[in-house]
Structure 1
C-alpha cells in the first residue's frame, strides 16, 4: 500500500515510543482523504527516509512524512515538486489535520531536498512549524516582565510566535557572536539573547567535517574566553546544545552524546542540579535570573 509501512531497517527508534504522535491506520486513511497521497509514516533519520522514498516521491509527487522523535514530525518534498510556499502551505494543513485528529507534536520540520538519484538526495531548505503547547520562558519574560528578547540565527525559526521582540539572521558563527557582542551595549532594562552557532551543526556536523569542526571549536574557545572575561555585574552567559553531532559518526544525522552546560556569571555564584540537568534547567535558570522563582536553581 502507498507509503503505509514501517521498515525496521530505517530506524533506531521504536514506534511504541510514538503512540501519541504517529498516526495509526485509521488516522492515516483520514489524512490521505483530506490531503491526498502521503508517503512514509516511519520513524527514522532523514538520510535513510530519503533513500527509501525519494525516488517514489519524484514519480508520484506525494509528500514524505516521518518522525525523528516522539514529538517532532518531519515533511520532505523535492524542490522540483514543491516550491517553498507550497511546501509550507501543505505542512500547515498537515499540522492542522493532525491536531484535529488528536495527535500531539511540538513542531513540524518542513524540508525540501534536491537530487536525481537515491545516493545524491541532499536537503537544502528547512523551516519549522511550532505549536505553542505552553508558553516558553522567553515569551513569558517578554510579555509579563517587559524583557527584550532577541533570537540570533536558526533559533528564530524554532521559536513560537511572540517569543522574540526581534530576530537577526546570520551566515556564520562569527557573525552570530558579533551580533551578540553588539547587543551587550543595548540600553534595554532587561535583555535575553539566544544565539545558535549553526556552523557546528549544519556545516561541520552534518557535513562530517572533523577538521573544520576542530578549527571552529578552537576558535570558539578563544571567543568564549574573551567574551566572558569582560562580563558586567549583571551579565550571565550560558553555553549548551540540544543534541550531539559527531563529525566522525556514520551517516549525516545527529549523534547521541552528552552536551555541555557551561554557565559564566559576572556577579554571582550559580548552583545547578548535580544530576538530571536538561534544557528545562536552562529555562529555569533564565527565568530565575529575571525574577521567576522556579526552585530548580539557586543563586
Structure 2
C-alpha cells in the first residue's frame, strides 16, 4: 500500500469537454471549463499546477492528469458518482418534464397535501412564482417540481409546515417513486424561509436517493468519511462517518479539517454548488468565482497533505453554464492526482470513471470484484 489516506474531491458538474458520445445527448460542443475560461479570466494557480490546463494543451505540471469518460447511459449525479466507485448504470433513471397525474394523485392521497407546480423549473424561480400559495394555505399545498435531472423536488416553508413534516412527505414520495414507471434517482426536500418578502432556501435540504444497484467500492473499504452529499448519493452504504456541508466552501473546510485527523481509508467529498448554484442557473461568472474560491482552499489542502496522502480531484458529469437549457452536459471529467511523494509529472490518455475506484481498491490491497469497471491509474504508484 502506497497511501494511508486518499482524499477524493468531486467538483460536481466540472466537465472538461464533450464526451465521445455527446451528440447522442444533444451536447456536441459542450465544455464546462473551456467555455468558462473563454468567458472570463480565472485565477486558479493550484488547479493549473496540478495539470488542469494540460488536459487541453501540453504543458508542465505536478502529479498525474487525465480525462475520464463515462460508460453508463446517463449524465446525472447518482450514475456519475456510482461509476466513479465502480458500478455502471446501464438503464437511466426516469426524467420527467412534468409528472403523470396518476403519480400526483397517489402522492396527494398518501400525504394529505395538495401539490402545485409540477413542471421543470429553477427552484428559486418557482418559489417566487408559487411560494405565496404555500403560505396562504398554511402548508396544506406544497410546490412540487423537477429539473432536467432525474429528480422530484418538494418545497416547504420550514417555519409553517416544519422540517419533520416536509421530510415525511419526501420519504413517502421516495417510496411511491420506487415503482418502475415513476422511478427517479432522487427525491429532494427543499425547505425555505421568508425574510423581508424574499424566499430564502435553507441548508436543511435532504436528498432521498435510490440505493446503489450493486455494492460500490465504498462497501469494500476499511473506512470512508463522506462529506457533503456523499452519504445521500450512496444511501449511507459504505459510509463510516458523514458530514453535511452548507456550501462548497464549507465542504472544502471540512475536508481540510480531515487532514488533521488520523485515519486509514478514504475521505470522499462532493462540492455541489458548482452544479446547483451556477451550472443549472447558467451563471458563468458565478461558476468561475466558485472555482477561484475552491482554488484558494485547494492551496491550503496541498500544504497540509502528508507524504503518504493521495489527492484525486474529479467530477461526476458536466454542466456547461454557457449551454442551452438547464440540463447537465455529457462531458469527460478531469482526474488530477497529487501526493507530496509523487515525483512523476504525466498527462495520460483518456481513462474511465471507474479508474478512480479501481485505483482506491488497489491502493488498499482489495481485489476488485469482476462486475466493477475501471483499471488502477498505475502511474501514481510508480512515484
**What's the TM-score once normalised by structure 1's chain length?**
0.69
Distance in 2, matches of 1:271 and 1:214, equals 23
Structure 1 residue 213: Cα displacement: 3.6
Deviations 1:212-259 (A, max 9, x none): 64652342342244245x432xx432112346789x98xxx8986875
Distance in 2, matches of 1:218 and 1:129, equals 30
Q: Is the partner of 1:164 in helix, strand or coil?
A: coil
Q: Is the partner of 2:375 in helix, strand or coil?
A: coil
* Correspondence for 1:81: 160
Go from structure 1 to structure 2 and tell me whether the alpha carbon gap of 1:70 and 1:170 turns closer, same or farther (over 3 Å shift).
closer
* Correspondence for 2:242: 167
Deviations 1:164-219 (A, max 9, x none): 11224567356313332123x32x4xx11113456767899989767964652342
Q: Is the partner of 1:115 in helix, strand or coil?
A: strand
Where in structure 1 are there 5+ consecutive unaligned residues?
1-16
Q: What RMSD, in angstroms, separates the aligned Cα atoms of the two structures?
A: 4.1
The 5-angstrom pairing of residues 1-299 of structure 1 reads 23-35=99-111, 36-60=113-137, 61=139, 62-100=141-179, 102-115=181-194, 120-124=198-202, 125-142=204-221, 147-169=222-244, 172-173=250-251, 175-183=253-261, 185-186=262-263, 188=264, 191-197=265-271, 213=290, 216-227=293-304, 230-232=306-308, 235-242=309-316, 260-265=334-339, 266=341, 274-275=349-350, 277-278=352-353, 280-290=354-364, 291-293=366-368, 294=372, 296-298=374-376, 299=378
Distance in 1, matches of 2:350 and 2:227, equals 29
8 Å contact from structure 1 (residues 39, 65) kept in 2: yes
**What's the TM-score once normalised by structure 2's chain length?**
0.56
Query: Which structure is higher in RCO with an 8 Å CA cutoff and minimum separation 6?
Result: 2
Distance in 2, matches of 1:270 and 1:285, equals 18
Distance in 2, matches of 1:38 and 1:297, equals 46
Where in structure 2 are there 5+ consecutive unaligned residues?
1-91, 379-383
Distance in 1, matches of 2:267 and 2:168, equals 30
